[in-house]
Amino acid sequence: MDTFSEHVARAILFAAAVIALFVLQVLPSADGVLLLHHQVLIALLGVALLGAALFRPIRPAVVAVGLLSQAGFVASALAMPGFSATTVLYLNLAGLAALLLVGFLLLRSARQQARWEGLSAPQRGT
């Protein structure tokens, strides 16, 4: 069942993929291991997010991996005192927020679908 929440989640997944690909354009040339590693992960994440927008079964895994990837880079960037790519940091924070919203919307959609199909837990105490 396609719910409104699921349609919004798919649109946000697509937008997050575009943000990920935009991060690749904004990043300076890879002069350090952290930045090269981040470029490879962002490219893979962008492709995975596009796939998740199209294929329902991989959405939870892609959202979880995307959250870990984005949070890891944000934590690493905040821990480095001389990190100068603030635009990249803000784009990653935007991607992190988008993936959190997608996770919430997908959980909401799954709950609505379970309720629709009558699979929710029975009421106790009756």
Q: What's the chain's Rg over C-alpha atoms?
A: 17
Q: How many residues does the chain have?
A: 126
pLDDT over 80 at 30, yes or no: no
What integer is the mean pLDDT of 98-109?
A: 88
Q: Of 1-5, 8-12, 90-94, which has the strongest mean pLDDT?
A: 8-12
For 46-73, the pLDDT digits (tens) are 899 899 988 888 988 998 988 888 888 7
Domain ranges of the chain: 4-112
The residue among 28, 53, 50, 52 whose CA lies nearest residue 39 is 28
Residue 89, pLDDT score: 74
Using an 8 Å Cβ cutoff, are 23 and 91 in contact?
Answer: yes
